[in-house]
Amino acid sequence: MDPVRPSISSGPRGPRLAVTTVLTGLLLTLSTPAALPLPDPVMPERGSAFMGIGVLAHDGSEAAAADAPTARITQTEGVDVSSYQRDVDWPTLWSGGARWAYTKASEGTYYTNPYFAQQYTGSYDTGMVRGAYHFATPDTSGGAAQADYFVDHGGGWSKDGKTLPGALDIEWNPYGDDCFGKSQSGMVTWIRDFLARYKARTGRNAVIYTATAWWTQCTGNYSGFGATNPLWIARYATTPGTLPAGWTSHTMWQYTSTGKTVGDHDRFNGTQAQLSSLATG
């Protein structure tokens, strides 16, 4: 099609008025930008997940935990770390009262923490009881396969009195659907497969880290693991709140993501002697 050309009217003022009208239209068009499509939400990079990544978004505000729970003689302070913290200042944490630590070892069957050696060994060398955790991604591979990957990449256990059983971090999916696309029964099966393989490989029952809201939503509040697996409850508040079905008490509690030195601080629900007993099995 030939381009539309502006007509120029006759008379002494005709050409000037026609050209002015065309230029005005062009300026109005350029000064009013067309609506642009909004960018898709930015998803975190695979491997970047950490304990509690979904707690603030789905389970209340950190403001509820502005006043950290008062330490008791029957509670022992701890921390959990991932690659986000890089090289950790363990002596400062020890001086601040932390006596145990968990380090992210792996995620799915595709990621290992590049800072694992400094974090896992550093806490041990400072005098802490230490353990490793695995961030579950049930949408990428089976529970048994992820348990194997975890054990093979730092999640094992040794009876040295200073190594805690591995922990399964099972919570909101930061990369997509909250429940990783699984039905409640499918999620329970996945968790069962992970726990069974971990125990077969290490002789220990893994700790389960979760939040009550997620557990209710994604497992139907399944009660079948409470008799065997210690519970690490995530709730940023002044109390652990209602626990998932099957557990009458918690073993650990992640109570804040804004602690000193590193953000995530936890309480072991017992004395340091009881913490050592958990480590030895």
Dihedrals φ, ψ of 256, to 5°?
-160, 155
Tell me, yes or no, if 67 is annotated catalytic. no
Upper half-sphere CA count for residue 101 (Cβ side, 13 Å):
28
Can you tell me the distance from the alpha carbon of 261 to that of 63, in angstroms, rounded to the nearest whole number?
19
One-letter amino acid at 144 equals A
Among candidate residues 148, 171, 264, 266, the one labeled active-site is 171
Angstrom distances, CA of residue 64 to CA of 59, 69, 120, 210, 257: 11, 11, 30, 18, 12
Can you tell me the distance from the alpha carbon of 266 to that of 243, in angstroms, rounded to the nearest whole number?
16
3-state class (DSSP) for residue 99: coil
Can you tell me the distance from the alpha carbon of 231 to that of 171, in angstroms, rounded to the nearest whole number?
13
Which single residue is written with the structure tokens 């809201």? 213
Chain-centroid distance, C-alpha 80? 11
Can you tell me the distance from the alpha carbon of 24 to that of 93, in angstroms, rounded to the nearest whole number?
67
Question: In this structure, what token pair is assigned to residue 120?
Answer: 């896992």
Among candidate residues 80, 107, 148, 266, the one labeled active-site is 80
Among candidate residues 148, 169, 264, 266, the one labeled active-site is 169
Bridge partners (DSSP) of residue 100 are 78, 129
Question: In this structure, what token pair is assigned to residue 14?
Answer: 């005709």
Question: In this structure, what token pair is assigned to residue 214?
Answer: 């997620």
Question: In this structure, what token pair is assigned to residue 112?
Answer: 């290992």
Tell me, yes or no, if 80 is annotated catalytic. yes
* CA nearest to 267, candidates 221, 235, 228: 235
Tell me, yes or no, if 62 is annotated catalytic. no
Question: In this structure, what token pair is assigned to residue 130?
Answer: 């230490």
- For residues 204 and 165, the answer to whether their CB atoms sit within 8 Å is yes
- Active-site positions read 80, 169, 171
